[in-house]
Amino acid sequence: MQAFYERGVVVQDGKREIALDPKRGRKGSVVSHGHMDHLSSGGYMTPGTLDILKARRKRGTGTALPYDTPAEVEGFQVTLREAGHTFGSAMVRVDDVLYTGDFNPEGGVTCGRAEPEWCQTLIIEATYGRPSFHFPDKRDTESDLVAWTELQLARGPVAIGGYEFGKAQELIALMNRAKLDVAVPDRIADLADVYRQHGVSLNYRRTSELTEEERKDPRVYIVPGRWIRMLPDEASWLSGARTAYVSGWCTIYDFTRSMNLDAQFPLSDHGDFDDLMEFTAHCRPRRVYTVFSHATELAKEIVRRLKIKAEPLAATRRKEDALFG
């Protein structure tokens, strides 16, 4: 059995081969979640991710596979596990291989949390795979964000920027918890509607339905991240709002100067370096492949600190099958 990266993560065993998060739609593949760099048509995915796919891509198709329900796909036994990254996100178990996709052991308001499980081979994402990548306590950051927002609302509308799928809906849920009025543009509302269809309680209005008078009210506007850098014409009426940006990268970069913002909050839907190490240790794998972003650094640290064989997922297939060992 071998694993490699070829326009997606590929697990191969003899003549059997399965693609995970392929760049292009592929029948018999598996899709971990609805972020654009993982999303394609034609594969197996959770019912939530399938509906996100249909909302994001008009001709999106796929096969719904609920969490924790084994299915035979391309000759392998495939099971999807909660990944805690976004609504519908899944880790993919293929026989005794576990591919994490993007994941978060801390979970979120709109999804569960990723739990480690034993596997022979772990293929783990390395987005925050550098030892210096450390997030402050998630609950503290959430409280800081809500407190800042409440304070600013006394002065007028507040615009909070974040990625339009996952982060934006998580922000709606957080603001709902604090009983603050929320409005979002249609592109965020269309995706939030899918959450609601699946039983996640989110309350928001559409900016397209607000009257000119209502737009002046103190309210939280949750908008795509790029909107707070430069407002599109359709939202020019938001120009006086106080602004904040929410992303895990705020723990490393100061966007307040470069983007001229009032505040930033390091809230991430990924685990940080310590989470990646702890998760790996608890899965007790015999071999680890790291993938995406800081794969080389994470593999090095897994070997050094955990004494487990680890290397970045190779970009090409080997000629002969290499045993996982």
In whole angstroms, how close is the CB of 29 to Zn ion at the nearest point? 17
**Closest to Zn ion by CB, 241 or 276:** 276
Which listed range, 35-43, 114-122, 131-139, 240-248, lies at the site for Zn ion (CB under 5 A)?
A: 35-43
The minimum distance between CB 269 and Zn ion, in angstroms, equals 7
Interface region with Zn ion, contact rule CB under 5 A, candidates 71-79, 99-107, 146-154, 234-242:
99-107
CB of residue 51 vs Zn ion: minimum separation in angstroms? Answer: 17
Q: Alpha helix locations (H) across the chain?
A: 47-56, 138-153, 167-177, 186-197, 225-229, 255-258, 273-283, 295-301
Min dist CB 67 to Zn ion, Å, is 17
Helix (H, G, I), strand (E, B) or coil at 307: coil
The residue among 102 and 297 lying less far from Zn ion, judged by its C-beta, is 102
Please identify, using beta-carbon distances, which residue of 84 and 157 lies nearer to Zn ion. 84
Count of residues in contact with Zn ion, rule CB under 5 A: 2
Distances (CA, A) of 303 to 133, 215, 230, 264, 297: 18, 55, 44, 35, 10
> Distance (Å, rounded) from C-alpha 287 to C-alpha 126?
15
CA–CA distance, 196 with 7 (Å, rounded to integer):
33
Does position 102 interact with Zn ion (CB under 5 A)? The reply is: yes
Minimum distance from residue 91 beta carbon to Zn ion (Å): 12
Cβ proximity to Zn ion: between 35 and 130 the closer is 35
Whole-angstrom distance, CA of residue 204 vs CA of residue 213 = 18
Choose between 195 and 324: whose C-beta lies nearer to Zn ion. Answer: 195
Element (H or E) spanning 293, and its range? none
The residue type at 181: D
CB 219 within 8 A of CB 155: no
- In this chain, which stretch among 27-35, 104-112, 139-147, 227-235 interacts with Zn ion, using CB under 5 A? 27-35
The two structure tokens encoding residue 51: 């509906």
Q: Which listed residue (35, 130, 167, 219) binds Zn ion by CB under 5 A?
A: 35
Nearer to Zn ion, 13 or 102 (CB): 102
Q: Which of 45, 14, 26, 32 is nearest to 123 (CA)?
A: 32
Q: How far is the CB of 191 from Zn ion (least distance, A)?
A: 14
Query: What does the binding site for Zn ion look like in residue numbers (CB under 5 A)?
Result: 35, 102
